[in-house]
Amino acid sequence: MKIIKAKDYVEMSRKAAYYIADQVLLKPNSVLGLATGSTPLGTYQELIQLYQNGEVSFNQVRSFNLDEYYSLGPDHPQSYRYFMDENFFNHVDVQPENTHVPDGLSPNPDAFSADYDRQITNAGGIDLQLLGIGSNGHIAFNEPGNVFIAQTRLVDLKEHTIEDNARFFDSKDEVPRQAITMGLKSILGAKRILILASGENKADAVKAMLEGPIDPNLPASILQLHPNVTLIADEAALSKAGNR
């Protein structure tokens, strides 16, 4: 795994935005795998800035988001579709019909998930997958102890993740208990992976991802098996990892 160090969140976001913009400049019709959460927020802001400066266009880009809370519709302010529209898609020239986020209201999540994977395959696979990391080492909503290699599917969220994400809701009780998530198989199928980490609360997970055994209890550790992963992390997130 290649590691790019950043001083802080702002520098991490800037470096990540350039990394993604480079991908799109080299291949304007790139298929991007996109992530939500507080970590990539600054990256999207930087990308919007690059777009507004005329340095990059998303006109031909196709995108597939990692996950969505199961039971939240696109109008719910905490749904990941809403997050993506508000924080990125509405501010750049991506064609709305080329953006995909799992349907949190799908009446048949199994069929939906199989179709989502088929659409990714039909688009030629993901060129660049953007990831965050949960403080328990989850990626997308692939929780510790879940089946390690799986396709897109409906999953139950761990209490730890519900507590972490409760900060975005009025109360913990409002956090959905399930989500549709891209599986690690689909994620590992990406040609390149960019994972971001910021803040001290990610330091244990980052250390285990980089130095620990490949272990389903730390889902991000499977990234050690992918040939083209770049981690952009700030000093706080790297503070527990050995000298590099």
* Catalytic residue numbers, as ranges: 67, 136, 138, 143
The residues binding ligand GLP (CB under 6 A) are: 35-39, 66-67, 132-134, 140-141, 161, 165
Report the candidate in 16, 11, 10, 1 with the shortest Cα–Cα distance to residue 196. 16
Phi, psi of 66 (to 5 degrees): -65, -40
Least separation in angstroms between residue 136's CB and ligand GLP is 9
Least separation in angstroms between residue 88's CB and ligand GLP is 14
Q: Rank residues 93 and 174 by Cβ distance to ligand GLP and give the closer one.
A: 174
**Own/partner long-range contacts of 165-173 (Cβ < 8 Å, ≥24 apart):** 168/78, 169/78
Q: Rank residues 189 and 199 by Cβ distance to ligand GLP and give the closer one.
A: 199
Q: Rank residues 30 and 198 by Cβ distance to ligand GLP and give the closer one.
A: 198
Least separation in angstroms between residue 40's CB and ligand GLP is 7
Q: Rank residues 180 and 241 by Cβ distance to ligand GLP and give the closer one.
A: 180
